[in-house]
Structure 1
Amino acid sequence: MTRPVSVHPGRSLLLPGLAALVALAILIGLGTWQLERLAWKENLISQIETRAYGEPGDIVAEAEWPAWSAERDEFRKVRVTGTFLHPYETPVYGLAPGSQRGSPAQGYYLLTPLRLPGGAIVTVNRGFVPMELKDPATRPGSQPAGEVTVTGLVRAPEAETLFTPENDPARNTWFLRDPQTIAQAHGLERVAPFLIDADATPNPGGWPKGGQTPLSLPNNHLQYAVTWFGIALTLIGVFTAFAWRRVKGPVSGELK
């Protein structure tokens, strides 16, 4: 008669234990990442509350542009005066809140260089237009001539991600609000490393629509972190119960 092979309980827990450890590491990593996002979001909200309201100030002087920092300057309310260089108007694809909640509108943010009295240039995000108004000819009066004054918020350039489509300057097709990249494509020099999101002051002809900077940001990262850590604790409890039953074997009276 063949004697049954005895498997040590500890060996039978090896693979389940490794799987549980991997899952636990992932859950703790997700929870920790959400805590990091929480700190980032709270800092961002603090910047907005501190800088985006009140009387507008001047932009950072051109001499300080090489050392410009979003951490120190983004979301600050400013006012600039200059002349728009409308031939270099750049439509950057994006979404804006639609007329119905949860249904964003597709269109373009119009980035236009503004030449300052000293000759330097700051890029202004003048606002949003729907897809059918990309061509300036479809929105008469939207490109004011002469000196203008713009009030808005300082914004950092958008960062490229893995999901960002590639810009096509030859077709004037853009997906990133990045003033330096746009300036390089147009051959412009002395361009600020930041841009200004214009406020909601109406533009001639009604377009573009400014004031698109979101100032009320959702902050659910603590809730998400608690959820991930809670799942991690549940996993520990479930695996502990599972391991206990494996080590102790069937309880008395249980069918074998």
Structure 2
Amino acid sequence: MDSPAPPHRLSAALRWSFIALMLALTVACVFLGMWQLQRLAEKEALIAAVAERLHLPPVPLPPQAQWTGLDLDLLNFAPVSLTGTFRHDQAVTVFTSLVDARGPASGPGYWVVTPFVLAGGGTVFVNRGFVPENLQEAALNDPGGPQGRVTITGLLRPAEHAGWFVPEADTSNRIEWVRDPARLANLVDPALAPFAPFYVDQAAGPGATLPQGGETVVEFPNNHFGYALTWFGFAIIAPVMLGFWLWRQRRTKV
């Protein structure tokens, strides 16, 4: 039978394992800090690009034939113009809570999202704007808005995707929780298909018109610099802790 390893060899193995672990942790923290700095540069470039894009003149909406291959990240917040007809009888309301509003209405309420049948084919969901919570039924029963063929402008937006805790649509009251064309399509006449994989936030109307358009929230969470500092902090702490531990080990031996 093999005899057990001497205690001093086992202790040495544990010491070297701990040292290797702390050094690997330091390297990993440095890598993550550098990665966050890279993400910071990418996010700042995106913010600058969108800020410039918002002030460009509207361009015609890509036709239906191009919808499948569109890079929606490159078109996010792009001003577009589109010609067609609103289907006000098929409007859907999407719950929201509007803060920092540009118009007079704010707080809990709904986006009024209406199918817009394009003159060239296909349907785009257009977010006509915000209405307060107590006007949800009125927005559906008497939506108003332009009739017949019109040309409108707005900002192209990718679909909002529902998280795990987002409930299913309230079909009886025509209420949704996200502006996702795939989900919105389930609440309208299927004959309006095909539906664009994006939606359009309509520009603001005159005065205090409801729905209150022009309320697109242009916001990008940018905490990458703070995350980078955190990881670099861990990269400093790990070798300091390792050095202190080695110093204690030497004192214990003495």
**Normalised-by-shorter TM-score class:** 0.7 to 0.9
Question: Greater CA deviation, 134-143 or 147-156?
Answer: 134-143
1:139 Cα deviation from its structure 2 partner? 9.2
1:223 corresponds to: 226
Q: Is the 8 A contact 1:136 1:142 kept in 2?
A: no
2:185 corresponds to: 183
How far apart, in 2, do the equivalents of 1:51 and 1:40 lie? 16
TM-score normalised by the chain length of structure 2: 0.76
Per-residue CA shift, 1:35-89, capped at 9, x if unaligned? 4542442343143134221211101012111212213322211112322111221
1:206 corresponds to: 209
Q: Are the structure 2 counterparts of residues 237 and 96 from structure 1 closer, same or farther at C-alpha, using a change threshold of 3 Å? A: same
1:54 corresponds to: 56
How far apart, in 1, do the equivalents of 2:178 and 2:57 lie? 29
User: How many equivalent residue pairs?
Assistant: 242
Letter in 2 for 1:212: E
1:254 corresponds to: none
1:157 Cα deviation from its structure 2 partner? 0.7
* SS of residue matched to 1:134: helix
- Candidates 219, 238, 242, aligned match of 1:235: 238
Q: Are the structure 2 counterparts of residues 45 and 17 from structure 1 closer, same or farther at C-alpha, using a change threshold of 3 Å? A: same
1:128 corresponds to: 130
Q: Are the structure 2 counterparts of residues 206 and 15 from structure 1 closer, same or farther at C-alpha, using a change threshold of 3 Å? A: farther
Listed as ranges, the gaps of 5+ residues in structure 2 are: 1-5
TM-score normalised by the chain length of structure 1: 0.76
How far apart, in 2, do the equivalents of 1:134 and 1:21 lie? 59
Question: Greater CA deviation, 232-241 or 188-197?
Answer: 232-241
Listed as ranges, the gaps of 5+ residues in structure 1 are: 252-256
Q: Are the structure 2 counterparts of residues 94 and 40 from structure 1 closer, same or farther at C-alpha, using a change threshold of 3 Å? A: farther
2:3 corresponds to: none
Q: How does 1:192-203 map to 2 (within 5 A)?
A: 192-202=196-206
How far apart, in 2, do the equivalents of 1:190 and 1:74 lie? 21
Letter in 2 for 1:97: V
Q: Are the structure 2 counterparts of residues 87 and 23 from structure 1 closer, same or farther at C-alpha, using a change threshold of 3 Å? A: farther
* SS of residue matched to 1:247: helix
Question: Greater CA deviation, 14-23 or 145-154?
Answer: 14-23
How far apart, in 1, do the equivalents of 2:79 and 2:239 lie? 49
Q: Is the 8 A contact 1:9 1:246 kept in 2?
A: no
Q: Is the 8 A contact 2:85 2:148 kept in 1?
A: yes
How far apart, in 2, do the equivalents of 1:235 and 1:224 lie? 17
Q: Is the 8 A contact 2:166 2:177 kept in 1?
A: yes
Alignment RMSD: 3.5
* SS of residue matched to 1:67: coil
How far apart, in 1, do the equivalents of 2:12 and 2:214 lie? 63
Q: How does 1:1-256 map to 2 (within 5 A)?
A: 10=12, 31=33, 34-35=36-37, 37-98=39-100, 105-136=107-138, 142-186=144-188, 187=190, 188-202=192-206, 206-215=209-218, 217=220, 219-249=222-252
